[in-house]
Structure 1
Amino acid sequence: MIAQFNRFVRNGAGLEKFLRLIQSVAQIAAVFSVGSTAVRLTTAKLQLALTRRYFRFFGFIESFQRVSALLNKEGMGSVPGWIDLAKWTCFGLYFVLEDLTMLHAMGVYMVPWEERVMREANQFWFYALSLSLLGAIYALLSPPRASKSQNEKKKGKKTEKTAPTTVNSSALVKQIVVDSCDLLIPAELLDWYPTGDLVLGVTMVLSTLLTGQDIWSRV
Protein backbone atom coordinates (compact mmCIF):
# COMPACT_ATOMS: atom_id res chain seq x y z
CA MET A 1 0.00 0.00 0.00
CA ILE A 2 2.78 2.45 0.94
CA ALA A 3 4.78 1.55 -2.15
CA GLN A 4 1.75 2.04 -4.38
CA PHE A 5 0.95 5.38 -2.73
CA ASN A 6 4.56 6.42 -3.36
CA ARG A 7 4.19 5.55 -7.04
CA PHE A 8 0.84 7.38 -7.12
CA VAL A 9 2.16 10.69 -5.77
CA ARG A 10 5.33 10.47 -7.88
CA ASN A 11 3.13 10.33 -10.94
CA GLY A 12 2.21 13.83 -12.15
CA ALA A 13 -1.46 13.05 -12.66
CA GLY A 14 -1.64 11.17 -9.36
CA LEU A 15 -0.06 14.02 -7.41
CA GLU A 16 -2.46 16.51 -8.99
CA LYS A 17 -5.41 14.37 -7.91
CA PHE A 18 -4.02 14.08 -4.39
CA LEU A 19 -3.67 17.86 -4.14
CA ARG A 20 -7.20 18.25 -5.52
CA LEU A 21 -8.51 15.93 -2.83
CA ILE A 22 -6.79 17.97 -0.10
CA GLN A 23 -8.14 21.18 -1.64
CA SER A 24 -11.71 19.88 -1.67
CA VAL A 25 -11.44 18.64 1.92
CA ALA A 26 -10.08 22.04 2.98
CA GLN A 27 -12.99 23.72 1.20
CA ILE A 28 -15.50 21.55 3.07
CA ALA A 29 -13.75 22.12 6.40
CA ALA A 30 -13.72 25.89 5.83
CA VAL A 31 -17.52 25.88 5.58
CA PHE A 32 -17.81 24.49 9.13
CA SER A 33 -15.03 26.67 10.58
CA VAL A 34 -15.02 30.21 11.90
CA GLY A 35 -12.50 32.92 12.62
CA SER A 36 -8.81 32.37 11.95
CA THR A 37 -9.30 28.66 11.27
CA ALA A 38 -11.65 29.41 8.39
CA VAL A 39 -9.18 31.97 7.03
CA ARG A 40 -6.31 29.47 7.13
CA LEU A 41 -8.36 26.77 5.45
CA THR A 42 -9.50 29.16 2.74
CA THR A 43 -5.91 30.25 2.17
CA ALA A 44 -4.82 26.61 1.90
CA LYS A 45 -7.61 25.95 -0.61
CA LEU A 46 -6.57 28.91 -2.79
CA GLN A 47 -2.88 28.01 -2.66
CA LEU A 48 -3.60 24.40 -3.60
CA ALA A 49 -5.77 25.59 -6.49
CA LEU A 50 -2.87 27.75 -7.71
CA THR A 51 -0.42 24.85 -7.34
CA ARG A 52 -2.62 22.62 -9.45
CA ARG A 53 -2.56 25.18 -12.25
CA TYR A 54 1.14 24.42 -12.78
CA PHE A 55 0.26 20.79 -13.54
CA ARG A 56 -2.11 21.76 -16.36
CA PHE A 57 -0.09 24.70 -17.72
CA PHE A 58 0.83 22.81 -20.89
CA GLY A 59 -2.50 21.02 -21.13
CA PHE A 60 -3.30 22.90 -24.33
CA ILE A 61 -0.60 20.91 -26.17
CA GLU A 62 -2.32 17.56 -25.61
CA SER A 63 -5.73 19.08 -26.33
CA PHE A 64 -4.70 20.50 -29.71
CA GLN A 65 -2.81 17.29 -30.53
CA ARG A 66 -6.09 15.44 -30.05
CA VAL A 67 -7.82 17.98 -32.29
CA SER A 68 -5.18 17.43 -34.98
CA ALA A 69 -5.51 13.64 -34.68
CA LEU A 70 -9.29 13.86 -34.99
CA LEU A 71 -9.08 16.06 -38.08
CA ASN A 72 -6.81 13.49 -39.74
CA LYS A 73 -8.91 10.54 -38.64
CA GLU A 74 -10.92 8.54 -41.13
CA GLY A 75 -14.64 8.75 -40.49
CA MET A 76 -14.38 12.08 -38.72
CA GLY A 77 -17.88 13.00 -39.94
CA SER A 78 -19.60 10.89 -37.27
CA VAL A 79 -21.48 12.48 -34.40
CA PRO A 80 -19.01 11.24 -31.71
CA GLY A 81 -16.15 12.58 -33.82
CA TRP A 82 -17.65 16.07 -34.03
CA ILE A 83 -18.40 16.05 -30.31
CA ASP A 84 -14.82 15.07 -29.49
CA LEU A 85 -13.47 17.71 -31.87
CA ALA A 86 -15.52 20.45 -30.24
CA LYS A 87 -14.72 19.16 -26.75
CA TRP A 88 -10.94 19.14 -27.16
CA THR A 89 -11.01 22.49 -28.95
CA CYS A 90 -12.83 24.02 -25.98
CA PHE A 91 -10.41 22.36 -23.53
CA GLY A 92 -7.44 23.74 -25.47
CA LEU A 93 -8.85 27.26 -25.50
CA TYR A 94 -9.59 26.99 -21.77
CA PHE A 95 -5.98 26.05 -21.00
CA VAL A 96 -4.58 28.82 -23.21
CA LEU A 97 -6.75 31.53 -21.67
CA GLU A 98 -6.05 30.32 -18.14
CA ASP A 99 -2.30 30.33 -18.83
CA LEU A 100 -2.48 33.98 -19.89
CA THR A 101 -3.44 34.92 -16.32
CA MET A 102 -0.82 32.79 -14.56
CA LEU A 103 1.51 35.67 -13.69
CA HIS A 104 -1.46 37.60 -12.32
CA ALA A 105 -2.47 34.65 -10.15
CA MET A 106 1.11 34.37 -8.88
CA GLY A 107 1.14 38.09 -8.00
CA VAL A 108 4.10 38.69 -10.31
CA TYR A 109 2.49 40.83 -13.00
CA MET A 110 -0.97 42.21 -12.33
CA VAL A 111 -3.19 42.93 -15.35
CA PRO A 112 -6.58 44.66 -15.47
CA TRP A 113 -8.04 42.13 -17.91
CA GLU A 114 -7.53 39.05 -15.71
CA GLU A 115 -11.16 38.79 -14.63
CA ARG A 116 -12.49 39.11 -18.17
CA VAL A 117 -10.09 36.50 -19.57
CA MET A 118 -10.77 34.04 -16.74
CA ARG A 119 -14.49 34.41 -17.34
CA GLU A 120 -13.97 33.46 -20.99
CA ALA A 121 -11.73 30.57 -19.91
CA ASN A 122 -14.36 29.24 -17.52
CA GLN A 123 -16.97 29.46 -20.25
CA PHE A 124 -14.85 27.25 -22.51
CA TRP A 125 -14.31 24.91 -19.55
CA PHE A 126 -18.07 24.68 -19.07
CA TYR A 127 -18.60 24.00 -22.79
CA ALA A 128 -15.87 21.33 -22.82
CA LEU A 129 -17.34 19.48 -19.84
CA SER A 130 -20.84 19.74 -21.32
CA LEU A 131 -19.62 18.23 -24.58
CA SER A 132 -17.77 15.49 -22.71
CA LEU A 133 -20.97 14.70 -20.82
CA LEU A 134 -22.97 14.73 -24.05
CA GLY A 135 -20.48 12.41 -25.74
CA ALA A 136 -20.60 9.91 -22.88
CA ILE A 137 -24.40 9.88 -22.85
CA TYR A 138 -24.50 9.47 -26.63
CA ALA A 139 -22.05 6.56 -26.50
CA LEU A 140 -24.00 4.93 -23.69
CA LEU A 141 -27.34 5.16 -25.48
CA SER A 142 -26.09 4.35 -28.99
CA PRO A 143 -26.41 0.74 -30.16
CA PRO A 144 -23.09 -1.09 -30.58
CA ARG A 145 -21.63 -0.87 -34.07
CA ALA A 146 -20.21 -3.85 -35.89
CA SER A 147 -16.50 -3.54 -36.44
CA LYS A 148 -15.09 -4.21 -39.90
CA SER A 149 -12.15 -6.39 -40.78
CA GLN A 150 -9.21 -5.08 -42.75
CA ASN A 151 -10.26 -6.99 -45.87
CA GLU A 152 -13.74 -5.52 -45.73
CA LYS A 153 -12.32 -2.02 -45.85
CA LYS A 154 -10.68 -2.73 -49.20
CA LYS A 155 -12.72 -1.49 -52.12
CA GLY A 156 -14.59 -4.09 -54.07
CA LYS A 157 -14.25 -6.90 -51.53
CA LYS A 158 -17.00 -8.25 -49.35
CA THR A 159 -16.33 -10.16 -46.16
CA GLU A 160 -18.30 -10.99 -43.09
CA LYS A 161 -18.51 -8.42 -40.34
CA THR A 162 -17.09 -9.22 -36.97
CA ALA A 163 -19.14 -9.16 -33.77
CA PRO A 164 -20.47 -5.79 -32.63
CA THR A 165 -18.02 -3.74 -30.59
CA THR A 166 -18.81 -3.82 -26.90
CA VAL A 167 -19.45 -0.65 -24.94
CA ASN A 168 -17.79 -0.21 -21.57
CA SER A 169 -20.93 0.93 -19.77
CA SER A 170 -19.29 1.23 -16.35
CA ALA A 171 -16.58 3.55 -17.69
CA LEU A 172 -19.17 5.69 -19.47
CA VAL A 173 -21.34 5.93 -16.35
CA LYS A 174 -18.29 6.92 -14.32
CA GLN A 175 -17.43 9.62 -16.87
CA ILE A 176 -21.00 10.93 -16.74
CA VAL A 177 -20.83 11.19 -12.94
CA VAL A 178 -17.40 12.87 -13.01
CA ASP A 179 -18.36 15.36 -15.72
CA SER A 180 -21.63 16.17 -13.94
CA CYS A 181 -19.75 16.88 -10.71
CA ASP A 182 -17.02 18.96 -12.35
CA LEU A 183 -19.57 20.90 -14.38
CA LEU A 184 -20.74 22.60 -11.19
CA ILE A 185 -17.36 24.31 -10.74
CA PRO A 186 -17.38 26.59 -13.81
CA ALA A 187 -21.14 27.04 -13.39
CA GLU A 188 -20.47 28.39 -9.88
CA LEU A 189 -17.56 30.58 -11.03
CA LEU A 190 -19.71 32.06 -13.81
CA ASP A 191 -22.71 32.56 -11.47
CA TRP A 192 -24.82 30.46 -13.83
CA TYR A 193 -25.77 27.90 -11.19
CA PRO A 194 -24.58 28.94 -7.70
CA THR A 195 -24.31 25.92 -5.41
CA GLY A 196 -22.07 27.04 -2.55
CA ASP A 197 -18.69 25.85 -1.25
CA LEU A 198 -20.09 22.82 0.57
CA VAL A 199 -21.74 21.28 -2.50
CA LEU A 200 -18.71 22.07 -4.64
CA GLY A 201 -16.39 20.51 -2.08
CA VAL A 202 -18.41 17.31 -1.85
CA THR A 203 -18.71 16.93 -5.64
CA MET A 204 -14.98 17.60 -6.01
CA VAL A 205 -14.21 14.82 -3.52
CA LEU A 206 -16.45 12.42 -5.45
CA SER A 207 -15.03 13.22 -8.89
CA THR A 208 -11.45 13.19 -7.58
CA LEU A 209 -11.86 9.75 -6.00
CA LEU A 210 -13.43 8.34 -9.17
CA THR A 211 -10.73 9.68 -11.51
CA GLY A 212 -7.93 8.98 -9.06
CA GLN A 213 -9.04 5.36 -8.85
CA ASP A 214 -8.04 4.78 -12.47
CA ILE A 215 -4.61 6.32 -11.92
CA TRP A 216 -4.16 4.30 -8.71
CA SER A 217 -4.87 1.06 -10.55
CA ARG A 218 -2.38 1.95 -13.32
CA VAL A 219 0.51 2.69 -10.98
Structure 2
Amino acid sequence: MLDREGFRPNVGIILLNHKNQVFWGKRIRTHSWQFPQGGIKHGETPEQAMYRELHEEIGLRPEHVRIIARTRDWLRYEVPEHYIRREARGHYRGQKQIWFLLQLVGRDSDMNLRATDHPEFDAWRWNDYWVPLDVVIEFKRDVYQMALTELARYLPRINPHNRYLRSGMRPHHREDHPREEARTPRGAVTHAGSPAQPEAALDAATPRAPQVEEP
Protein backbone atom coordinates (compact mmCIF):
# COMPACT_ATOMS: atom_id res chain seq x y z
CA MET A 1 0.00 0.00 0.00
CA LEU A 2 1.71 3.15 -1.25
CA ASP A 3 0.65 6.77 -0.99
CA ARG A 4 0.51 9.05 -4.02
CA GLU A 5 4.17 9.94 -3.62
CA GLY A 6 5.34 6.32 -3.54
CA PHE A 7 5.91 5.97 0.21
CA ARG A 8 4.72 2.95 2.16
CA PRO A 9 3.10 3.69 5.58
CA ASN A 10 5.18 2.13 8.31
CA VAL A 11 5.74 2.15 12.07
CA GLY A 12 9.03 2.24 13.96
CA ILE A 13 9.48 1.15 17.57
CA ILE A 14 11.94 2.45 20.15
CA LEU A 15 11.60 0.11 23.15
CA LEU A 16 13.14 1.17 26.48
CA ASN A 17 14.11 -0.84 29.53
CA HIS A 18 14.10 0.63 33.05
CA LYS A 19 17.56 2.15 32.45
CA ASN A 20 16.34 3.97 29.31
CA GLN A 21 18.43 1.67 27.15
CA VAL A 22 16.91 0.74 23.80
CA PHE A 23 16.17 -2.62 22.22
CA TRP A 24 18.47 -3.29 19.29
CA GLY A 25 17.72 -6.31 17.06
CA LYS A 26 20.06 -8.15 14.68
CA ARG A 27 18.36 -8.99 11.41
CA ILE A 28 18.29 -12.72 10.85
CA ARG A 29 21.35 -14.18 9.10
CA THR A 30 22.99 -10.75 8.70
CA HIS A 31 25.20 -8.43 10.73
CA SER A 32 22.68 -5.58 10.50
CA TRP A 33 21.23 -4.18 13.73
CA GLN A 34 18.17 -1.95 13.87
CA PHE A 35 14.99 -0.97 15.73
CA PRO A 36 11.83 -2.99 15.09
CA GLN A 37 9.68 -1.62 12.27
CA GLY A 38 7.04 -2.79 9.83
CA GLY A 39 4.33 -1.82 7.39
CA ILE A 40 0.84 -0.63 8.25
CA LYS A 41 -1.79 -2.90 6.67
CA HIS A 42 -4.93 -1.61 5.01
CA GLY A 43 -7.49 -0.68 7.68
CA GLU A 44 -4.98 -0.59 10.54
CA THR A 45 -4.21 2.43 12.66
CA PRO A 46 -0.52 3.12 13.39
CA GLU A 47 -1.06 1.95 16.98
CA GLN A 48 -2.63 -1.32 15.86
CA ALA A 49 0.22 -1.90 13.43
CA MET A 50 2.75 -1.14 16.16
CA TYR A 51 1.27 -3.78 18.52
CA ARG A 52 1.14 -6.34 15.69
CA GLU A 53 4.75 -5.72 14.68
CA LEU A 54 5.83 -5.75 18.31
CA HIS A 55 4.47 -9.25 18.69
CA GLU A 56 5.58 -10.54 15.29
CA GLU A 57 9.16 -9.30 15.64
CA ILE A 58 9.94 -9.66 19.36
CA GLY A 59 7.01 -11.58 20.87
CA LEU A 60 5.68 -8.88 23.19
CA ARG A 61 1.98 -8.27 23.90
CA PRO A 62 0.28 -4.96 24.78
CA GLU A 63 0.39 -5.84 28.49
CA HIS A 64 4.20 -6.06 28.34
CA VAL A 65 4.69 -2.40 27.35
CA ARG A 66 3.31 1.06 27.86
CA ILE A 67 3.21 3.77 25.22
CA ILE A 68 5.14 6.85 26.31
CA ALA A 69 4.92 8.95 23.15
CA ARG A 70 4.80 8.91 19.35
CA THR A 71 6.04 11.23 16.66
CA ARG A 72 3.57 13.93 15.66
CA ASP A 73 4.01 13.54 11.90
CA TRP A 74 5.30 11.05 9.34
CA LEU A 75 9.07 10.76 9.05
CA ARG A 76 10.20 9.75 5.56
CA TYR A 77 13.23 8.11 4.03
CA GLU A 78 13.90 7.19 0.44
CA VAL A 79 15.39 3.83 -0.49
CA PRO A 80 18.20 3.75 -3.07
CA GLU A 81 17.05 2.12 -6.27
CA HIS A 82 19.48 -0.80 -6.07
CA TYR A 83 17.80 -1.95 -2.82
CA ILE A 84 14.32 -1.98 -4.39
CA ARG A 85 12.90 -5.07 -6.03
CA ARG A 86 12.92 -4.69 -9.80
CA GLU A 87 9.15 -4.96 -10.18
CA ALA A 88 8.63 -2.12 -7.67
CA ARG A 89 11.06 0.32 -9.24
CA GLY A 90 9.53 3.44 -10.69
CA HIS A 91 6.65 3.72 -8.22
CA TYR A 92 8.09 2.75 -4.81
CA ARG A 93 10.25 5.47 -3.23
CA GLY A 94 10.60 4.48 0.42
CA GLN A 95 8.91 4.49 3.81
CA LYS A 96 6.94 7.07 5.78
CA GLN A 97 6.93 6.20 9.46
CA ILE A 98 5.20 6.98 12.72
CA TRP A 99 7.62 6.21 15.54
CA PHE A 100 6.50 4.99 18.98
CA LEU A 101 8.47 5.26 22.22
CA LEU A 102 7.58 2.32 24.48
CA GLN A 103 8.71 1.20 27.90
CA LEU A 104 9.00 -2.47 28.77
CA VAL A 105 6.93 -3.17 31.89
CA GLY A 106 7.32 -6.91 31.54
CA ARG A 107 10.56 -8.87 31.78
CA ASP A 108 13.36 -9.50 29.31
CA SER A 109 12.27 -13.15 29.30
CA ASP A 110 8.89 -12.11 27.84
CA MET A 111 10.62 -11.41 24.54
CA ASN A 112 10.51 -14.16 21.93
CA LEU A 113 12.21 -13.69 18.58
CA ARG A 114 10.49 -16.85 17.29
CA ALA A 115 6.92 -15.73 17.95
CA THR A 116 6.07 -16.29 14.27
CA ASP A 117 7.22 -18.60 11.48
CA HIS A 118 9.01 -15.72 9.78
CA PRO A 119 11.38 -14.18 12.36
CA GLU A 120 13.00 -10.83 11.63
CA PHE A 121 15.78 -11.01 14.24
CA ASP A 122 18.04 -13.75 15.53
CA ALA A 123 19.69 -11.83 18.40
CA TRP A 124 19.08 -8.72 20.47
CA ARG A 125 20.69 -6.49 23.06
CA TRP A 126 20.08 -3.36 25.11
CA ASN A 127 22.04 -0.34 23.94
CA ASP A 128 22.44 3.26 25.04
CA TYR A 129 19.61 5.50 23.83
CA TRP A 130 21.82 7.46 21.43
CA VAL A 131 22.88 4.56 19.24
CA PRO A 132 25.84 5.70 17.12
CA LEU A 133 24.32 6.53 13.77
CA ASP A 134 27.25 5.13 11.81
CA VAL A 135 25.95 1.64 12.68
CA VAL A 136 22.63 2.37 10.96
CA ILE A 137 22.34 1.78 7.23
CA GLU A 138 23.06 5.14 5.62
CA PHE A 139 19.70 5.96 4.07
CA LYS A 140 17.91 5.47 7.43
CA ARG A 141 20.24 7.60 9.55
CA ASP A 142 18.35 10.87 9.22
CA VAL A 143 15.06 9.25 10.23
CA TYR A 144 16.66 7.57 13.24
CA GLN A 145 18.17 10.91 14.26
CA MET A 146 14.82 12.70 13.88
CA ALA A 147 12.88 10.03 15.79
CA LEU A 148 15.37 9.79 18.66
CA THR A 149 15.58 13.58 18.92
CA GLU A 150 11.83 14.19 18.88
CA LEU A 151 11.10 11.46 21.42
CA ALA A 152 14.04 12.12 23.75
CA ARG A 153 12.07 14.78 25.64
CA TYR A 154 9.68 12.05 26.83
CA LEU A 155 12.31 9.74 28.34
CA PRO A 156 11.22 8.67 31.83
CA ARG A 157 13.26 9.91 34.76
CA ILE A 158 15.37 7.13 36.22
CA ASN A 159 14.98 6.59 39.95
CA PRO A 160 18.28 5.12 41.23
CA HIS A 161 16.53 3.58 44.22
CA ASN A 162 14.13 1.67 41.96
CA ARG A 163 17.04 0.47 39.89
CA TYR A 164 18.65 -1.13 42.95
CA LEU A 165 15.35 -2.72 43.96
CA ARG A 166 14.93 -4.24 40.47
CA SER A 167 18.44 -5.67 40.58
CA GLY A 168 18.04 -7.08 44.09
CA MET A 169 20.88 -4.87 45.40
CA ARG A 170 20.75 -2.46 48.30
CA PRO A 171 21.91 1.10 47.50
CA HIS A 172 25.01 0.93 49.70
CA HIS A 173 26.35 -1.96 47.58
CA ARG A 174 27.21 0.55 44.90
CA GLU A 175 29.66 2.20 47.28
CA ASP A 176 31.13 -1.15 48.25
CA HIS A 177 31.50 -2.26 44.63
CA PRO A 178 31.64 0.83 42.44
CA ARG A 179 32.38 -1.18 39.29
CA GLU A 180 29.60 -3.73 39.79
CA GLU A 181 27.40 -2.24 37.07
CA ALA A 182 30.28 -2.00 34.61
CA ARG A 183 30.85 -5.75 34.95
CA THR A 184 27.28 -6.50 33.94
CA PRO A 185 27.21 -6.78 30.15
CA ARG A 186 24.54 -5.01 28.17
CA GLY A 187 24.79 -8.23 26.25
CA ALA A 188 22.83 -9.95 23.54
CA VAL A 189 20.41 -12.86 23.84
CA THR A 190 19.91 -15.21 20.92
CA HIS A 191 16.58 -16.74 19.99
CA ALA A 192 17.87 -20.12 21.09
CA GLY A 193 18.57 -18.81 24.58
CA SER A 194 22.31 -19.38 24.37
CA PRO A 195 24.62 -17.33 26.62
CA ALA A 196 25.08 -13.72 25.64
CA GLN A 197 27.98 -13.00 23.35
CA PRO A 198 30.72 -10.75 24.73
CA GLU A 199 30.06 -7.08 24.06
CA ALA A 200 33.26 -6.79 22.03
CA ALA A 201 32.10 -9.54 19.70
CA LEU A 202 28.75 -7.83 19.26
CA ASP A 203 30.40 -4.52 18.52
CA ALA A 204 32.47 -6.22 15.86
CA ALA A 205 29.24 -7.51 14.31
CA THR A 206 27.53 -4.14 14.40
CA PRO A 207 26.08 -3.32 11.02
CA ARG A 208 28.42 -2.34 8.30
CA ALA A 209 26.86 -4.56 5.62
CA PRO A 210 23.75 -3.16 3.90
CA GLN A 211 20.40 -4.85 4.21
CA VAL A 212 17.86 -5.41 1.45
CA GLU A 213 14.82 -3.19 1.79
CA GLU A 214 11.45 -4.70 0.96
CA PRO A 215 8.89 -2.33 -0.52
Q: Which has the higher helix share?
A: 1
Give the structure with the higher percent strand: 2
Determine which structure has more spread, i.e. the larger CA radius of gyration: 1
TM-score, structure 2 as length reference: 0.25
